[in-house]
């Protein structure tokens, strides 16, 4: 990863030294006393929350309509059984203190052109997981207005940019709930609108479309992976938008196998008089890791990562050195039967006997399979169908057994190769000229399984660099 020799190397060394120095300022004695990690109680189990929830239920006053006539018949105002109902916030927490590391929001809640300052007061709980009282004084009337939010934590409450989802000229407050348990992030936004002098949380018509994170597709997973769709939401020029990937991707072993650029469907959320956020189709986006653009015609995901192919190997009597991660050298010896011999930089020597003629070891590690120690792909010049993945297990090398939906083969309709970035790829012939691409991962101490990465076509399957979208 060096940049250029000379100045590049110098800056790298300087960064390394500065990071080490900064990190080492944190000494063991600086840390808070060691406390046992205990399972956090769900916030729904908190007696405060249960009491508050009960209070909210008692205070449900029906649909809050932004009608100004004031002469509606009671049966017009009363909620119908199957219509969504917004809940008025309970007037609790007047004495709560400003939430830790929080910053008041400034937005024009009442539409008079003067922004209100919304304070966030935290319900005191041991685990900082209580509710937040949203509190402000309306610039138009000088009256207090308040709301209640549950964000999972009372620390660091801030708002996203305000929106005007009902296009009425005033602004709605957007907070968000973070799901800290979700690897890769998860959560959803909460929109608060000023209604009847209260900050009322909007309901969401299709809540599954207004989330962020990797959401499993029901019934599509296997023992070794889930199939997930990638969801996002964001605020853009006063509008609340969300997206969902058109395709689902395999997620397992803490890895999400997605192309860098994916195609997503998007929705814009509008707030109705009934207090419900409703999605409307906002088109298709091509979403990269750092950029997005409207879809072109027939836009599809980027081709799964299947090339360039790693072609370098060593044979009997040769050695190769690996310097990324666990540092080691590997050699193929043949005193009697051929053996792989790994010599680690920590002094360990690991040997594994091979039962194949003219073995070869790739000079690239199959790091998609295993990267917490030595890993090797063994092939044979005498038998092109032979494939074996060896991984370090303490002081020994172990051959991983392929399990799952795909066989580890390299013949005919099943082709397998290693890419230069260490992905062990298998493609299986499908309908027409399509191939289903898979990537191998370590799934247990002695097993590896292939996870699907997408459909790909080749101009020439013998040359994986000719991969293209189908």
Q: Residue 118: count other Cβ atoms within 10 Å of its Cβ.
A: 23
Q: At 467, which helix (H) or strand (E)?
A: strand 467-468
Contact flags string 155-194 toward other proteins, x per CB under 8 A:
xxxxxxx----------------x-xx-xxx---------
Nearer to other proteins, 155 or 349 (CB): 155
CB under 8 Å to 89, separation ≥6 — which residues?
Answer: 56, 146, 147, 148, 198, 199, 200, 201
Among positions 17, 293, 349, 446, the unique one binding other proteins when judged by CB under 8 A: 17
Whether the CB-CB separation of 349 and 343 falls below 8 Å is answered with yes
Q: How far is the CB of 455 from other proteins (least distance, A)?
A: 19
Q: Does 31 bind other proteins (CB under 8 A)?
A: yes
Q: Does 305 bind other proteins (CB under 8 A)?
A: yes
How many residues sit in the footprint of other proteins (CB under 8 A)?
67
**DSSP 8-state assignment for residue 22:** H
Q: How far is the CB of 396 from other proteins (least distance, A)?
A: 14
Q: How far is the CB of 290 from other proteins (least distance, A)?
A: 8
Q: Which range of residues in 8-16, 142-150, 267-275, 398-406 is near other proteins by CB under 8 A? A: 8-16
Residues 99-118 touching other proteins, rule: CB under 8 A, are 101-106
Nearer to other proteins, 4 or 74 (CB): 4
Q: Does 26 bind other proteins (CB under 8 A)?
A: yes
Q: How far is the CB of 139 from other proteins (least distance, A)?
A: 17
Q: How far is the CB of 7 from other proteins (least distance, A)?
A: 8
Nearer to other proteins, 256 or 309 (CB): 256
Residues 408-447 touching other proteins, rule: CB under 8 A, are 421-422, 444-445
Among positions 32, 71, 80, 126, the unique one binding other proteins when judged by CB under 8 A: 32
Q: At 334, which helix (H) or strand (E)?
A: none
Nearest to 391 by CA among 441, 450, 321, 332: 441
Nearer to other proteins, 54 or 446 (CB): 446
Q: How far is the CB of 365 from other proteins (least distance, A)?
A: 8
Nearer to other proteins, 38 or 58 (CB): 38
Maximum CA extent, the chain: 99
Among positions 28, 219, 296, 432, the unique one binding other proteins when judged by CB under 8 A: 28
C-alpha 411/C-alpha 388 separation (Å) is: 14
C-alpha 419/C-alpha 308 separation (Å) is: 6
- Output the DSSP codes for 50-114: HHHHHHHHHT--------------HHHHSPPTTS----PPP---TTPEEPTT---EEE-SSSSSS
Q: Does 36 bind other proteins (CB under 8 A)?
A: yes
C-alpha 321/C-alpha 419 separation (Å) is: 18
Q: Which range of residues in 11-19, 47-55, 193-201, 336-344 is near other proteins by CB under 8 A? A: 11-19
Q: Does 325 bind other proteins (CB under 8 A)?
A: yes
- Residue 414's DSSP bridge partners are 411, 428
Instruction: Tell me the three state secondary structure of residue 309.
Output: strand
CB under 8 Å to 362, separation ≥6 — which residues?
Answer: 310, 312, 313, 376, 377, 378, 379, 418
C-alpha 323/C-alpha 119 separation (Å) is: 53
Among positions 6, 22, 218, 431, the unique one binding other proteins when judged by CB under 8 A: 22
Nearer to other proteins, 203 or 262 (CB): 262
Q: Does 1 bind other proteins (CB under 8 A)?
A: yes
Q: Does 372 bind other proteins (CB under 8 A)?
A: yes
The backbone torsions φ and ψ at residue 330, rounded to the nearest 5 degrees and listed phi first, read -125, 140
Nearer to other proteins, 368 or 436 (CB): 368
Among positions 38, 58, 291, 297, the unique one binding other proteins when judged by CB under 8 A: 38
Instruction: Tell me the three state secondary structure of residue 28.
Output: helix
- Output the DSSP codes for 351-406: EEE--SSSEEEESS--TTT--SS-EEEEEESS-TT-EEEEEEETTEEEEPEEESSS
Contact flags string 224-263 toward other proteins, x per CB under 8 A:
-----------------------------xxxx-x-x---
Q: Does 367 bind other proteins (CB under 8 A)?
A: yes
Whether the CB-CB separation of 322 and 365 falls below 8 Å is answered with yes
Q: Which range of residues in 20-28, 196-204, 335-343, 403-411 is near other proteins by CB under 8 A? A: 20-28
**What is the binding site for other proteins (CB under 8 A)?**
1, 3, 7-8, 11-12, 14-26, 28, 30-32, 34, 36-40, 101-106, 155-161, 178, 180-181, 183-185, 253-256, 258, 260, 289-290, 305, 324-325, 367-368, 371-372, 421-422, 444-445
């Amino acid at each position: 990863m060096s940049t250029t020799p000379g100045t590049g190397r110098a800056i790298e060394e300087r960064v390394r030294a500065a990071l080490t120095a900064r990190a080492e300022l944190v000494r063991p004695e600086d840390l808070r006393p060691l406390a046992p990690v205990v399972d956090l109680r769900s916030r729904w189990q908190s007696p405060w929350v249960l009491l508050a929830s009960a209070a909210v239920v008692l205070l449900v006053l029906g649909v809050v309509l932004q009608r100004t006539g004031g002469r509606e018949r009671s049966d017009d105002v009363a909620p119908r059984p199957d219509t969504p109902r917004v809940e008025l916030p309970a007037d609790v927490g007047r004495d709560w203190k400003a939430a830790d590391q929080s910053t008041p929001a400034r937005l024009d809640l009442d539409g008079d052109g003067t922004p209100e300052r919304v304070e966030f007061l935290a319900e005191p709980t041991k685990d900082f997981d209580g509710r937040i009282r949203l509190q402000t004084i309306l610039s138009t009337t000088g009256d207090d207005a308040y709301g209640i939010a549950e964000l999972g934590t009372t620390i660091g409450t801030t708002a996203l940019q305000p929106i005007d989802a009902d296009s009425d000229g005033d602004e709605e407050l957007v907070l968000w709930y973070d799901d800290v348990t979700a690897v890769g992030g998860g959560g959803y936004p909460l929109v608060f609108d000023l209604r009847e002098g209260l900050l009322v949380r909007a309901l969401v018509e299709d809540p599954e479309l207004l989330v962020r994170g990797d959401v499993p597709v029901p019934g599509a997973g296997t023992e070794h992976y889930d199939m997930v769709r990638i969801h996002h939401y964001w605020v853009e020029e006063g509008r609340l938008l969300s997206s969902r990937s058109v395709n689902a991707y395999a997620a397992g072993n803490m890895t999400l196998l997605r192309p860098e650029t994916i195609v997503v469907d998007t929705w814009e959320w509008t707030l109705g008089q009934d207090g419900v956020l409703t999605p409307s189709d906002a088109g298709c986006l091509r979403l990269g890791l750092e950029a997005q653009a409207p879809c072109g015609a027939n836009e599809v995901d980027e081709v799964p990562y299947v090339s360039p192919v790693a072609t370098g190997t060593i044979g009997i009597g040769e050695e190769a050195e690996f310097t990324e991660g666990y540092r080691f050298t590997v050699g193929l010896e043949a005193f009697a039967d051929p053996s792989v011999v790994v010599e680690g930089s920590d002094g360990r020597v690991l040997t594994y006997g091979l039962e194949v003629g003219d073995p070869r070891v790739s000079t690239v590690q199959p790091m998609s399979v295993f990267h917490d120690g030595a890993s090797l792909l063994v092939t044979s010049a005498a038998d092109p169908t032979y494939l074996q993945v060896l991984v370090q297990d303490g002081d020994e090398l172990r051959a991983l057994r392929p399990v799952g939906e795909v066989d580890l083969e390299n013949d005919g309709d099943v082709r397998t190769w290693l890419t230069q970035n260490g992905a062990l790829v298998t493609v299986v012939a499908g309908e027409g000229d399509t191939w289903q691409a898979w990537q191998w991962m370590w799934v247990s101490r002695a097993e590896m399984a292939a996870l699907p990465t997408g459909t790909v076509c080749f101009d020439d399957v013998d040359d994986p660099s000719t991969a293209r979208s189908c």
